[in-house]
Structure 1
Amino acid sequence: MDAAPAPATAPARHTSPTSLASPTTPVPATSAPDGRRTAGLLILLGSGLSNQTGAAVGSLAFPVLGPLGVVAVRQYVAAAVLLAVARPRLRSFTRHQWGPVLLLALVFGTMNLSLYTAVDRVGLGLAVTLEFLGPLAIALCAARRRVDACCALVAAAGVVTLMRPQPSADYLGMGCGLLAAACWAAYILLNRTVGRRVPGAQGSAAAAAVSALMFLPVGVVLALRDPPAPAAVAYAVVAGVLASAVPYLADMFTLRRVPAPAFGLLMSVNPVLAGLVGWVVLGQHLGPLDWAAVGAVVAANAIGVLASRR
């Protein structure tokens, strides 16, 4: 999943791996009218589809901009959206607040760059599945139940299957996917710290702005050295909108209306959505064994969420 900074408030007590991915988002609702809950679930599913479609559309610009250029444009879009929504008072930030914000900016940029590099090398489905190990690992490490240990074993089996030696295996791309997972885990922990030190979504917006500034030289070099075709830039902008703006706004709506278990269950299908979008949009085919491995990772999350609910 292509994560975007989230508004900062308290996390839910029992968080699923995916709700941990945005640990500073508003707590998912525990009760809501059926109509609002259904609408929230549909929007949440659409948000996941938008996220993966954005990554797929962004990859269409790789031949011209490369993963680095696409991520740079994506960071600009994320910063523009969050700054417009949160309007952080940057001048009032203290050194105590700036520390985790700067670290979050670095992790956010590295996470997206490593993910898009993995998408370029190993395909969308495998890259997103490997990245999903970040929030899954955080959730399982915080658990103390036998069922969680079983979930960890199931997820590990899926990962070993996905990374099995093959003639066409790209271990650098897989390594980038695992780096994205580690960054996502760090992003989770840093977001908690930022949420405690900076009010509202100001910390996340500031981190997005700093991350965009970090990638500003990339955009300048690309524009001056070899101005890209408008179509390539448009692909990158669409990727930023679909993978940043839409999920961010959708989360703000759904997390107040959808129960935490349902949120976690729906978000856990992102690797499956990534595989389907990669197949339909990019023509990337996963074999039956690969689909089984993706299903194992998804099942590990789903079982953990359901067990936590009980």
Structure 2
Amino acid sequence: MSGSSTRRTPGTRTSPRDLALLLTAATSTQTGAALGSHAFSAIGPAGVVAVRQLVATVILLPLTRPRVRTLTRGQWWRVVLLAAMFAGMNLFLYSAVERIGLGLAVTLEFLGPLAVALLGSRSARDLLTAVAAAVGVYVLVLPGSSSDYVGLTLGLLAGACWGGYILANRAVGAALPGVQGTALATAVSATAYLPVLVWLMVEGRFTPAAFGLAVIAGVLSTVVPYTLDLVVLRRVPARVFGVAMSSHPVLAAVVGLVLLGQVLALHEWLGIGVIVAANAAAMAFGRPAAEISGVEPDPSPSRRSTAR
């Protein structure tokens, strides 16, 4: 794969095989997050994210070979902004997972793309979508004295960073060809996390098990979905891809139940369902999916919001 990819126009029909690949990518992402959470006790969310970023950098840079010397100051600023959103999104999400569980954290994070989808819209349908999402959040959380407001805030911050990531992704995609922007942003983010890696090594907290789990998280949550999405985006309409993204909260709840023993209450499942439905409606019937989720028919990951 090089910086200049061959543009293919996705078809109007989606095969069961492509849908299976989309679900596999989503399941891989959430499985990686669940396995990575087992390393929190040793290296914390920041340590897992640092290793994830390092894994992504090791994979992306040799493949894309970005022309670093030719970048202008304006291009670098866009890359740095994207890197900041990238780093914050993952750190806030993993920190939220540690406190409130995988299903709730991922669902709250998905409010970011939904907010971008509804940003600036004045249609009655989008207003109803926003109201439905707000109701879904209330049902999901049912705020009370026992609520973990720190964890909930971290989940919302992850969503805010994802929204910022989508907007920054557009700016980088317009300034740099192919996947160069994504690769450089990943490298900048990994560089920013190097002090975390050094500190963890000095403290002796990098046990083989913790490091291995973090590497697995990097592969399952970055490399596998990156590769599968790259293949599928060549064939499926962007709106189909956007709607398929809405499966992530449900899959996160299921993976959290199976791998982490995180049992959700009925109201939490209902809240997830309402938010997923609102997100799917925004993707399917709102503005073009490329504007909502950063997805375009061009398979270049610099145009996507899911290369996390």
| TM-score, scaled to structure 1 | 0.87
Whole-angstrom CA distance in 1 between matches of 2:116 and 2:3: 19
Whole-angstrom CA distance in 1 between matches of 2:203 and 2:123: 55
Q: Give 1:31's match in structure 2, choosing from 12, 21, 35.
A: 12
2:264 paired residue number? 286
Change (3 A) 1:250 1:143: farther
Helix, strand or coil: the match of 2:206?
A: coil
> Any unmatched runs of 5+ in structure 1?
1-6, 11-25
| 1:62 equivalent in alignment to 2:51 | no
Q: Quick one: which amino acid aligns to residue 35 of structure 2?
A: V
Q: Give 1:228's match in structure 2, choosing from 175, 199, 206.
A: 206
2:250 paired residue number? 272
Change (3 A) 1:309 1:103: closer
2:114 paired residue number? 136
Whole-angstrom CA distance in 1 between matches of 2:8 and 2:124: 26
Whole-angstrom CA distance in 1 between matches of 2:285 and 2:170: 24
Counterpart mapping for 1:177-188 below 5 A = 177-188=155-166
| 1:48 equivalent in alignment to 2:26 | yes
Q: Percent identity?
A: 52
Change (3 A) 1:191 1:232: same
TM-fit CA distance, 1:268: 0.5
Whole-angstrom CA distance in 2 between matches of 1:38 and 1:253: 14
Q: CA-to-partner distance for each residue in 1:96-129, whole Å, 9 max, x for gaps?
A: 1101101111111111000000000000000000
| 1:114 equivalent in alignment to 2:114 | no
TM-fit CA distance, 1:264: 2.0
| 1:102 equivalent in alignment to 2:80 | yes
Q: CA-to-partner distance for each residue in 1:115-144, whole Å, 9 max, x for gaps?
A: 000000000000000000000110112544
Q: CA-to-partner distance for each residue in 1:195-229, whole Å, 9 max, x for gaps?
A: 11111111111110010000011111111111422
Whole-angstrom CA distance in 2 between matches of 1:94 and 1:309: 32
Contact 1:110 1:180 in 2 (8 A): yes
Change (3 A) 1:195 1:179: same
Helix, strand or coil: the match of 2:10?
A: coil
> Any unmatched runs of 5+ in structure 2?
289-308
Contact 1:73 1:236 in 2 (8 A): yes
Contact 1:27 1:256 in 2 (8 A): yes
2:62 paired residue number? 84
| TM-score, scaled to structure 2 | 0.88
**Worse overlay, 283-292 or 141-150:** 141-150
| 1:215 equivalent in alignment to 2:196 | no
